[in-house]
Structure 1
Amino acid sequence: MRPSTPLRKRLLHSIAMLGALLLAGPATAAITYKLDRPQALAGEAINIIGLLFNDGDTAISWTAPKSLVLQWRNQDGKVIRSLARLTTSGAQVNVPVNNFVKFAWRAVVPTGVKGLQAVNVEGEPTLLALDTSPLENSPVSGTVAAGPVIDAGAGRGLSDPALPDSIVAATGASVTEGPPVNTPERLVAPPTAFENFRSAISPYEPIYFDVGNKGGRNARYQVSFKYRLFSPNDPANPEFIDNFYFGYTQTSLWDLSSDSNPFVDTSFKPSLFWRKDALWQAPQKDWFVGLASGVEHESNGKKEDESRSLNFAYVQPEFNYRFDGGSTLTFAPRIKAYFEKNENPDYADYAGYVDWKLRWAQDNGLVLSGLYRHGKSGRNTSQLEAAWPLRRTFLNMNGYFHVQYFQGYGQTLLNYNRKSDGQIRIGIALVP
């Protein structure tokens, strides 16, 4: 890859304007729990449903615990503790602003419980009720639980055996005593070094692999990620510096019809930027406005006459509207200022100075997006994309069915000044 041109210090001042935007309200993110049914007998399985909702001003990353310790408390104050195990695949999630994610943990009603039970997840203030018999409701209390964690459903006779201390300790719970019910659990960073690294990585631009057949079989694919440079001390309320990211995107056009299947061109795009998903939110949480601003380098890693490179600073306001039906409409124009583009000084004549971007995304559903660039003398570029989750098809796969239409200039950095006729490509997207 051709070395990136050093970014001049004066351009970093384009980010300083963001300091005036620190008046945004604090972020909030919380998980709530409920039972999937109100009645179950001892020995039957129930599900604890957790709903993680991001009501804050920036996307959050959260790792669901593999098991929860449950407290079962009857009207006499007798306490039994058991484990509920995660059944939802993909324990780590990234939750955008004003979106939610659902988890489920499976638990077995212990053989020692009778009547109406107050059930809570240790460390959470939520108190749930489960009727384990036809008896009428009785008052329950919530105090610190004392006693071993038992293996519900595995008992022989009248009681369930206690789990080994090593298994209980692996959940992060005390072997013999749980925390007070009214002690809320914070959304904290994952405990291991690898999980800390993983939690700092999140989606950036779309990730896809599409194939078309116009002018010979070819593929266009893109990989992209962003890495949070600083870990917030309080993930639910990140500070200004916590919103700085390193981003990387790589886009390639691949000739699949010629001998040896050569790559036509590849663009390497590292970037440094500041981003906050919601600088301002309406009281009803339907409207929210975010901002991204930074610097980006793009080059194709080739030499001499085929070498292409440019740098630009940008500001990208993001206007979002959240529909009641569970979808979000985003309008995000990216305003660019180029510098050091000696190898292709007329690049802006073809790509313009604004990327007009529009996106509509259903929760776990259809995603539609569009990009428009307006260059000089009618040199216009359009890109339209649609994605549908494969989990909602007979394939039941991860990822999305992806369709992309491209027409105009800049399909590759090498041929930024050559117009590409309209072409449709079909493939799979990991991030639409």
Structure 2
Amino acid sequence: MLRFAPLALALAGAAALPVAHAGTTFQLDRPQAAPGETVEIRAVFFNDTPSAANWTPARQLVLQWRAPSGQSLRTLAYLAGEPVTSSVPVNNFARMSWRAVVPHGVDGLQAVSIEGEPALLALDVSTRERSPVAGTPALGPIVDVGRPDGTPGTGAPLPPAATAGLGENATVGPAPVAAGSAGQQPYSTAAWEHFRNALSPYEPVYFVVGTRGGTNARFQISLKYRLFQPPVDRPATFHENLYLGYTQTSLWDLDSPSKPFYDTTYNPSLFWMKDNVWQSASQRWFVGMNAGVEHQSNGRDGEESRSFNAFYAQPSLNYRFDGGSTLSFAPRLRKYFAVASENADVADVRGRVAWHLAWAQDDGAMISGLWRDGKGGRDSYQVDVAWPLRDTWLSNMNGYLHLQYVNGYGQSLLDYNVRQPDQFRVGLMLVR
């Protein structure tokens, strides 16, 4: 935040110079939780200094709670992942989150304190699902209690003309849970929390449209589900890095009268994945791993049926730049088995190694390239570029402007051995 000395002092020649600093703000993911439930503390580090700033989030935070008797309780919040140093450019930010269990023995509205940080987080830990604090509407009009300039209040309801367009209603306000949960799920059960915490994006999710050979669209959805959720008080063990994955990629013919789907690839998988298997002392270099077994099929029968299975390993070598971006090299090696007779030569066409190279800013722009080296010159290429829409005239829109270029063999599993004309598509990327 920038802080300026008063103008009067500046005119008098005794002004202080502007002071800029980097700071962190904290907030909770929801306004209400019962004892024993897990809440998420989200932090945003903003750099308002004249130069890039390094931010290393703490592995643990110490939280202070108050029991009804007034006794204080101190517990820990645990970082979601490893504490990697981020180099945050000027006027940019970085995000991180911690998870904490609400302790038993506390009740009512809590002002949760983070030790060492000037932050108080309001959380209603009433044991009732719809507590008077956060679960019910505020009944009553808006009352005149006075102004900050010293004008006394009457204590009476303000007239409708004075409150027109303010709040939700002249006589009743929404419950804080409803008011503070725009775009989020309100108070939820433990079962939903477990499911939501285990589900996350996997491959990029996008929808792009091109016109080469007729108007067509290509879109992809992809999710992964963590099979064993690690506790918040320690890093994940080996089996807690096991996932189920599902990716679906479709080609949609938008030129034909009935707008049919030309082909769809269904790609379920079971894999072990960890983003940070090894990290250098400087924290600039780190190595990740994704290894497992996958199935790909287009769901058809007869001569148009295509399917194969493969074991794969995809190590990734990553480098962090000062500007808050990462360069990643991640070749995927495949060992095919149980290949359908209709596509018996798929290993020769698609190759046994897919070479991936990507550069991505933290929560910003991204460019990635894919090259599959098939035998006999049957190569395929794909380049994706994504730019956050918040940095365009659509500043209040989520997602990324997505440009995609593909060339070579295998734009769909049906045409795995057919060289298609190169195609340029543009659209929306939801997850990169």
- Does TM, normalized by the shorter one, top 0.5? yes
- Give 1:76's aligned residue: none
Alignment partner for residue 272 of structure 2, among 267, 274, 296? 274
> 2 CA distance for matches of 1:404 and 1:373?
16
Give deviations 1:114-170, integer Å, cap 9, x for gaps.
xxxxxx96242124399xxxxxxxxxxxxxxxxxx9x9xx99589xxxxxxxx9999
User: Structure 1's 327 and 48: CA in aligned 2 closer, same or farther, altered over 3 A?
Assistant: closer
Alignment partner for residue 194 of structure 2, among 164, 176, 196? 196
- Give 2:305's aligned residue: 307
Quick check: 1:404–1:425 contact (8 Å CA) kept in 2?
yes
- Give 2:355's aligned residue: 356
> 2 CA distance for matches of 1:169 and 1:347?
53
- Give 1:125's aligned residue: 115
Quick check: 2:26–2:42 contact (8 Å CA) kept in 1?
no
- 1:363 positional shift: 1.6
> 2 CA distance for matches of 1:298 and 1:328?
30
Q: TM-score, normalised by structure 1?
A: 0.62
Q: Give the residue type in structure 2 aligned to 1:388.
A: W
- 1:62 positional shift: 7.7
> 2 CA distance for matches of 1:367 and 1:217?
26
Instruction: Compute the RMSD of aligned alpha carbons.
Output: 4.1
> 2 CA distance for matches of 1:346 and 1:429?
32
> 2 CA distance for matches of 1:169 and 1:208?
32
Q: Give the residue type in structure 2 aligned to 1:284.
A: S
SS of the residue 2:25 aligns to: strand
- Give 1:58's aligned residue: none
- Give 2:426's aligned residue: 426
**2:202 corresponds to 1:227:** no
- Give 2:380's aligned residue: 381
> 1 CA distance for matches of 2:331 and 2:238?
23
SS of the residue 2:349 aligns to: helix
User: Structure 1's 312 and 38: CA in aligned 2 closer, same or farther, altered over 3 A?
Assistant: farther
User: Structure 1's 404 and 330: CA in aligned 2 closer, same or farther, altered over 3 A?
Assistant: same
> 2 CA distance for matches of 1:124 and 1:422?
55
SS of the residue 2:413 aligns to: coil
Q: Give the residue type in structure 1 aligned to 2:366.
A: V
Q: Give the residue type in structure 1 aligned to 2:378.
A: R
> 2 CA distance for matches of 1:385 and 1:349?
25
Alignment of 1:138-287 (within 5 A): 156=145, 192-234=190-232, 237-287=235-285
Give deviations 1:212-271, integer Å, cap 9, x for gaps.
000000001100011111111236511111100000000000110012011110000000
Q: Give the residue type in structure 1 aligned to 2:385.
A: A
Q: Give the residue type in structure 1 aligned to 2:364.
A: G
Quick check: 1:36–1:48 contact (8 Å CA) kept in 2?
no
User: Structure 1's 348 and 210: CA in aligned 2 closer, same or farther, altered over 3 A?
Assistant: same
Give deviations 1:181-215, integer Å, cap 9, x for gaps.
xxxxxxxxx97321221121111111100000000
Quick check: 1:224–1:249 contact (8 Å CA) kept in 2?
yes
> 2 CA distance for matches of 1:239 and 1:366?
32
> 2 CA distance for matches of 1:289 and 1:97?
15
Quick check: 2:317–2:328 contact (8 Å CA) kept in 1?
yes
User: Structure 1's 219 and 282: CA in aligned 2 closer, same or farther, altered over 3 A?
Assistant: same
**Does 227-236 or 260-269 show the bigger shift?**
227-236
**2:346 corresponds to 1:347:** yes
Q: Give the residue type in structure 2 aligned to 1:389.
A: P
Quick check: 1:51–1:101 contact (8 Å CA) kept in 2?
no
User: Structure 1's 326 and 236: CA in aligned 2 closer, same or farther, altered over 3 A?
Assistant: farther
**Does 317-326 or 94-103 show the bigger shift?**
94-103
Q: Looking at both structures, which has the greater relative contact order when contacts are Cα pairs under 8 Å and sequence separation is at least 6?
A: 1
Paired residues, number: 303
- Give 1:293's aligned residue: 291
User: Structure 1's 36 and 211: CA in aligned 2 closer, same or farther, altered over 3 A?
Assistant: same
Give deviations 1:9-48, integer Å, cap 9, x for gaps.
xxxxxxxxxxxxxxxxxxxxxxxxxx89799xxxxxxx97
- 1:102 positional shift: 6.5
- 1:395 positional shift: 0.9
> 2 CA distance for matches of 1:420 and 1:238?
44
Quick check: 1:208–1:221 contact (8 Å CA) kept in 2?
yes
Query: Which structure 1 residue ranges, 4+ long, deviate > 4 Å from structure 2?
Result: 35-39, 93-97, 154-158, 167-170
User: Structure 1's 413 and 356: CA in aligned 2 closer, same or farther, altered over 3 A?
Assistant: same
Gaps of 5+ in 2: 6-22, 29-37, 44-62, 65-69, 71-78, 87-93, 98-109, 121-132, 151-174, 179-187
> 2 CA distance for matches of 1:102 and 1:36?
23
User: Structure 1's 127 and 305: CA in aligned 2 closer, same or farther, altered over 3 A?
Assistant: closer
SS of the residue 1:365 aligns to: coil
Identity of aligned residues (%): 50
User: Structure 1's 65 and 412: CA in aligned 2 closer, same or farther, altered over 3 A?
Assistant: closer
Give deviations 1:348-368, integer Å, cap 9, x for gaps.
111000010011001232100
User: Structure 1's 155 and 318: CA in aligned 2 closer, same or farther, altered over 3 A?
Assistant: farther
Q: Give the residue type in structure 2 aligned to 1:399.
A: G
Quick check: 2:26–2:41 contact (8 Å CA) kept in 1?
no
Q: Give the residue type in structure 2 aligned to 1:413.
A: L
Quick check: 2:206–2:220 contact (8 Å CA) kept in 1?
yes
SS of the residue 2:402 aligns to: strand
User: Structure 1's 201 and 36: CA in aligned 2 closer, same or farther, altered over 3 A?
Assistant: farther
Alignment partner for residue 101 of structure 1, among 87, 95, 98? 95
- Give 2:413's aligned residue: 413
